[in-house]
Amino acid sequence: MNSGEFQTHRNGSTQASDAWWRRFRLLEIPLPAPWSRWFLAIAVLAGVAPWARTIVRVAEASILGDSVEATRLDRAVALEPDDPELQHRLGMVLGNSLSETDRSEGLQHLRRATELAPIAARYWSDYGWACELAGDNAGALRAVAQAVQLSPCTPHLRWVAANAFLRLGERDAATEQFSALLKLDHSYGPATFHVCLGALQDAQLIADKVIPTEKDPALKLAYASFLSANGLHDTARRVWKSAMESGGKFPAAIALPYVDGLLQLGRADEARDTWRDLENSGVVAKPASEDESNLVYNGDFEQAPLNAGLDWRSRPGEYVVIDFADPDAHTGKMCARLEFTVGQNNDFLPFFQLVPVSPGHAYVLSAFVRSQDITSDSGPRLQVLDARQAAALNVSSETTVGTTPWHEVRLPFVTGPQTDLLQIAVARPRGRSFPMDITGTFWIDTIVLKSVGPAKLGAELKPDR
């Protein structure tokens, strides 16, 4: 082999080595630590074996490329200028610099990364960010659009593109991207609602253009809750109705936040209507055994409470066991049971329910209860409070102590002129005379609240004794 043939063979081997090692790097397989002990030996062989110099160069570039320092990354790019990942890393570091010169240089490296790997969507997305920082809006729009086209099922790229379009005044393109994003990943819902409402200032436009028109109503329900929390009640109600009319099935858990939001905002009538929507759609079971005129939901405890909405909510206290499925029922198959396991003299409010009512009306609350070995003089009882202003209405039934069979307790009362939401509770206030500590077991079933009609002016109903 003459010298020319040797040089050609040597150059071909070097090019083949470079290509092989470049493919190895693209796999992003880190070099094991023991390799570092071989670098010196490999370097010694470099004069004999052309591929050895390639190994040293690529290995050094790999080590430098793992840094976040611009100087080390710059050295890595100098060693391997055709490595798109190194170009991208250096471009991102320089692009985050406070120096305009650095940012300009970073833009060039990010552009080079897209040239070396034109099918890498992430490179195009980051290049679009750098273009926007540099004031090249047209370039930014083209880059983020290219990123989405290359990887349409990557939610993060959709999110970046949608926000870029929104910032750069492309509203139609932005809403299209946000809608596509929400179809891919519902978890972007809250952030999307917040960004779009702040930028577009049009809640109905978001409902029409951003929320996907699929049968799954989860996003519409989440958006209704968001709008209600932000005081946009009319649009929230329209979105809620649209979700109900979509015909899609969904768990109660994704609808209850909207109901709870209405209750917190003092919109008791809307909460009641919304609850009826859930009952009529079958999302919330409507107990078939209960009297239609009974305003208490699930008063027979025949189904597990939802701990939200207009169902029972529990507040487990220390040394109090709550069982909503005790089989020793007065009516039906189940009842609620409270067990005070360790003697304590504390205020207990183990469970309650919020009930929309009419102001200035007379009502009667009743239940069947029994007890076993209730030690305190202050035992469990029914309690009725104005849910927003306890001073306006706060009445309790007779207490239950000792051991008693099933018996009915009744509590007549009149709502105040502003009372439209009650808290119906089972409560135990602190004892005031010996014996004060409470232990024992209490059962309750068949809780019923019925309206007697508008109260006469000056009339007052006294609790039964």
pLDDT in tens, 259-300: 999 999 999 999 999 999 999 888 998 876 667 889 999 999
Is pLDDT of 118 > 60? Answer: yes
Question: Domain containing 80 — which CATH number?
Answer: 1.25.40.10
Q: What angle do CA 58, 64, 70 make, to 5 degrees?
A: 135
Give the CA-trace dihedral at 261, 297, 304, 306, to 10 degrees: 0
Is pLDDT of 30 > 60? Answer: no
Q: Residue holding tokens 């209960």? A: 290
Does 233 lie in the same domain as 319? no
Does 180 lie in the same domain as 60? yes
Note the pLDDT of residue 290: 61
Note the pLDDT of residue 62: 53
Top pLDDT among 50 and 91 is at 91
Does 226 lie in the same domain as 169? yes
Is pLDDT of 388 > 70? Answer: yes
Does 375 lie in the same domain as 262? no
Share of the chain above pLDDT 70, in %: 83
Share of the chain above pLDDT 90, in %: 63
**Cβ count near 37 (within 10 Å):** 8
Q: What share of the chain is helix, strand, coil (3-state, %, to 5)?
A: 50, 20, 35
What are the contacts of 434-437 at 24+ separation with CB within 8 A? 434/377, 435/375, 435/376, 435/377, 436/345, 436/376, 436/377, 436/378, 437/343, 437/344, 437/345, 437/375, 437/376
Is pLDDT of 351 > 90? Answer: yes
Q: Which distant-in-sequence residues (6+ apart) come within 8 Å of 154 by Cβ?
A: 121
For range 182-196, the mean pLDDT = 96
Tokens of 228: 């209600």
Does 334 lie in the same domain as 211? no
Is pLDDT of 69 > 80? Answer: no
Cis amide prior to 435 (ω within 30 degrees): yes
Residue of 92, 21, 95, 116 whose CA lies nearest to 60: 21
What CA–CA distance (Å, rounded) separates 386 from 397? 15
Note the pLDDT of residue 7: 42
Does 250 lie in the same domain as 109? yes
Does 332 lie in the same domain as 258? no
What range does the domain containing 222 cover? 3-281
Strands (E), 257-380: 313-314, 320-326, 335-344, 348-356, 361-374
What CA–CA distance (Å, rounded) separates 213 from 70? 47
